[in-house]
């Protein structure tokens, strides 16, 4: 079970990185300019731009937050399971 939790942590980290990159690409398309690198902090500016890229940025933000939540939860479970296994 500890191995499954550890693999889930790695998958969540990969998913968070992928969603962050996708959000940066969509933020650049929405016209965030230099703020595309820190797009989670520029959501209000991207929403004002509107259009399809803004919708995709919002979806990328939801995916990023979900991956972070799953990753933290799986890390907590993996740490406890590895500790008890010894």
Query: Per-residue pLDDT averaged across 50-72, rounded?
Result: 91
Query: Per-residue pLDDT averaged across 39-54, rounded?
Result: 82
Query: Per-residue pLDDT averaged across 49-76, rounded?
Result: 91
Instruction: Give exposure, 58-67, as e/b (b: 16+ Cβ within 10 Å).
Output: eebbebbeeb
Counting every residue written for the chain, the total comes to 86
pLDDT-derived band of residue 86, with 50, 70 and 90 as boundaries? Answer: low
Residue 74 is predicted with a pLDDT of: 93
């Amino acid at each position: 079970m500890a191995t499954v939790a550890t693999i889930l942590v790695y998958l969540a980290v990969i998913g968070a990185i992928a969603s962050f990159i996708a959000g940066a690409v969509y933020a650049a398309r929405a016209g965030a300019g230099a703020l595309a690198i820190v797009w989670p902090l520029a959501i209000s500016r991207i929403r004002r731009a509107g259009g399809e890229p803004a919708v995709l940025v919002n979806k990328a933000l939801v995916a990023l937050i979900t991956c972070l939540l799953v990753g933290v939860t799986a890390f907590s479970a993996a740490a406890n399971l590895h500790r008890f296994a010894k």
